């Protein structure tokens, strides 16, 4: 078994950066180099303002950077000197060609593999950290072997999918539920590679929480995990629509079923919809793989999870419009939160995008405040619609003279606001549309707000405005 002392990671994003920082922190005897072709991104990792926001990440990076943790654009040099190479590049959904809108685009992965092959002069352990389709390792192995000039170089490919949740990535890395390592455990070289990576994690993860599997099982497990989590969210969101129709309370329903030990309470919080870089992308990828294997019914089942998510967002927009007398043209609607979840600045697939577009299509003027998302990111996500959007540095400015408030992200600070003071500066009737169920709705009604809370009994004012 190889005793690993040098590691590099290709890709300095949401997964590669924090994961390598944690390995460096827990393994001071291992030199860890994170490389990326983006000079601005690497410059940010080497600065006091990291390119991503994640609670606790600053402290971990600053404890190791310059000691055994390095950030560089010298991809070739890092590959040459490393025994183990993690690949954590983007695998977005294809936008064109065969499988567009469903299949994973492995362009960056293949490019990384070609670079690894060209620069490798000795044996390497290659670790898939990106989320990839089943049997990607097989294709990557062919690229590596056919592009390496030295036929004696051996590449052992492992799958080590990440199971991080943005906002809690550092705690997830510090004390993971499990670490999954897939490899060719049926042969001696593959087993040795698996053991080498397991030995790295064993510096802080109990060995009984390090799971080994064959390559294909590990690759599929990541897609399956995200699909199952998203399915739970779509299931409770489907129940939220029924609760509104029947007068039930989705929070009470969720608590009731969550106390069943067979179900458990996690991922049963009704909301305006799931977002992030993984859930939708991975479900679509999973469904496409099912289609490719002739499993149409299985594919349709997983597509329905994404369909329910889209329905929940459009349903929220319809509720806002109908509650406000079917007229929101030129009305200022404050949007509290734009990130897809709290404690992150990530806006990928955030429900705020589709909800915002839906409101703007009906003529609304959006006033957006998020404590971590910068205006240029919002402008990128809402391209072509910034004429109807104003971004604010404070919530107070966003709420001044607003006709309504939509809560799109569950930031803790929103719960601590002086809502009586907010009510006094808003247009009347003042509406609150809580898409995250984080506010005290009874208190808001006592103040005078008209409140819509997903999955809760509908406010009589809203019923009458909708003609119910």
Q: How far apart are CA 396 and CA 398, in angstroms?
A: 6
Least Cα distance to 122 among 96, 146, 155 occurs for 155
Cis, peptide link before residue 429, omega less than 30° from 0: yes
Is the distance from CB of 457 to CB of 249 less than 8 angstroms? yes
**Which parts of 165-322 are beta strand (E)?**
179-183, 210-214
User: What are phi and psi for residue 261, nearest 5 degrees?
Assistant: -60, -20
Is the distance from CB of 407 to CB of 432 less than 8 angstroms? yes
Q: How far apart are CA 43 and CA 132, in angstroms?
A: 28
**Residue 204 C-alpha from the chain's centroid:** 25
Taking each helix axis as running N to C, give the angle between helix 215-246 and helix 136-147, from 0 to 180 degrees, rounded to the nearest 10: 140
Q: How far apart are CA 193 and CA 26, in angstroms?
A: 20
Structure tokens at 416: 């601590």
Least Cα distance to 110 among 131, 140, 86, 87 occurs for 140
Q: How far apart are CA 382 and CA 376, in angstroms?
A: 10
Strand partners, 406: 335, 433
Active site residues: 278
Contacts of 36 (CB under 8 A, 6+ apart): 10, 11, 12, 13, 16, 42, 71, 73, 75
**Which value, to the nearest 10 degrees, does the dihedral of the CA atoms of residues 264, 268, 269, 271 take?**
170
In total, the chain counts a number of residues equal to 468
Q: How far apart are CA 118 and CA 109, in angstroms?
A: 14
Within 13 Å and on the Cβ side, how many CA atoms surround 80? 6
Contacts of 384 (CB under 8 A, 6+ apart): none
Is the distance from CB of 360 to CB of 331 less than 8 angstroms? no
């Amino acid at each position: 078994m190889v005793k690993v002392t040098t590691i590099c990671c290709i890709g300095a994003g949401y997964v590669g950066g924090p994961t390598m920082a944690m390995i460096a922190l827990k393994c001071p005897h291992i030199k860890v180099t994170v490389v990326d072709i983006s000079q601005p991104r690497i410059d940010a990792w080497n600065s006091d303002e990291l390119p991503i926001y994640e609670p606790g990440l600053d402290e971990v990076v600053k404890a190791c950077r310059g000691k055994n943790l390095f950030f560089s654009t010298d991809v070739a040099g890092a590959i040459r000197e490393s025994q183990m190479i993690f690949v954590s590049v983007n695998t977005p959904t294809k936008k064109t060609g065969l499988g567009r809108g469903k299949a994973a685009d492995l362009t960056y992965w293949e490019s990384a593999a070609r670079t690894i092959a060209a620069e490798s002069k000795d044996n390497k352990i290659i670790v898939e950290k990106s989320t990839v389709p089943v049997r990607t390792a097989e294709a990557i192995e062919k690229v590596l072997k056919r592009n390496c000039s030295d036929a004696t170089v051996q590449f052992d490919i492992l799958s080590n999918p990440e199971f991080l949740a943005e906002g809690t990535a550092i705690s997830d890395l510090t004390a993971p539920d499990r670490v999954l390592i897939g490899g060719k455990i049926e042969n001696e070289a593959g087993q040795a590679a698996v053991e080498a990576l397991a030995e790295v994690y064993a510096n802080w993860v109990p060995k009984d929480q390090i799971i080994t599997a064959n390559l294909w099982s590990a690759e599929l497990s990541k897609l399956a995990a995200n699909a199952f989590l998203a399915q739970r969210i779509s299931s409770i969101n489907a129940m939220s629509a029924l609760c509104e129709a029947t007068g039930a309370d989705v929070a009470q329903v969720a608590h009731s079923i969550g106390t069943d030990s067979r179900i458990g309470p996690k991922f049963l919080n009704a909301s305006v919809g799931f977002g992030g870089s993984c859930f939708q992308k991975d479900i679509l990828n999973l469904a496409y793989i099912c289609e490719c294997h002739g499993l149409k019914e299985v594919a349709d089942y997983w597509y329905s999870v994404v369909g329910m998510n889209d329905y929940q967002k459009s349903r929220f927009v319809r509720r806002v419009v109908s509650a406000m007398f079917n007229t929101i043209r030129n009305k200022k609607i404050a949007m509290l939160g734009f990130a897809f979840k709290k404690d992150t600045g990530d806006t990928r697939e955030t429900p705020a995008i589709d909800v915002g577009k839906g409101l703007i299509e009906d003529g609304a003027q959006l006033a957006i405040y998020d404590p971590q998302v910068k205006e240029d990111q919002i402008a990128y996500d809402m391209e072509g619609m910034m004429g109807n959007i104003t971004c604010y540095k404070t919530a107070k400015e966003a709420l001044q003279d607003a006709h309504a408030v939509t809560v799109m992200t569950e930031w803790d600070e929103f719960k601590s606001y002086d809502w009586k003071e907010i009510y006094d500066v808003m247009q009347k009737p003042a509406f609150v549309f809580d898409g995250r169920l984080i506010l005290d709705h009874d208190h808001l009604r006592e103040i005078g707000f008209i409140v819509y809370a997903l999955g809760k009994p509908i406010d009589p004012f809203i019923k009458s405005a909708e003609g119910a």
